[in-house]
Amino acid sequence: MPWLITYSSQAQSDVRLGFRHYKAISESLGKYFLNELKQAEEAVLNAPEAFQVRFFDRVRGYPLKKFPFLILYVVVENSVYVIAVFNTNLNPDLIEARLKSQ
């Protein structure tokens, strides 16, 4: 059975904020951000349990290659639930607080 990916509403908001930020710099940079995010999704879906557990013994992380963002997700049966697309330039305490509330 193929893996499914779902984004929390906060993760969707993270993506929108990142896209808007890069699009404000350059239209093509915004598109490049979304393309890299899509490639990261594919990597996670190809091997969701291969990436490092980073928080609370279950939250895994996949770093984007060209942007300072980390996809934070949990694996539940045959699905990947994205909790955050976290800007790593922000205070790391912010992500721990968000993850605790999930």
**35-38 contacts at long range (C-beta below 8 A, 24 or more positions apart):** 36/64, 36/65, 36/66, 36/67, 37/64, 37/69, 37/71, 37/85
pLDDT for the residue 96: 76
**pTM reported for the whole predicted model:** 0.89
Contact 3, 76 (CB under 8 A): no
Q: Which domains does the chain have, with CATH numbers?
A: 4-101 (3.30.2310.20)
pLDDT tens digits along 30-66: 999 999 999 999 999 999 998 889 888 889 999 999 9
Q: d(Cα 84, Cα 14) in Å, to the nearest integer?
A: 7
Q: Which residues contact 24 (CB under 8 A, 6 or more apart)?
A: 30
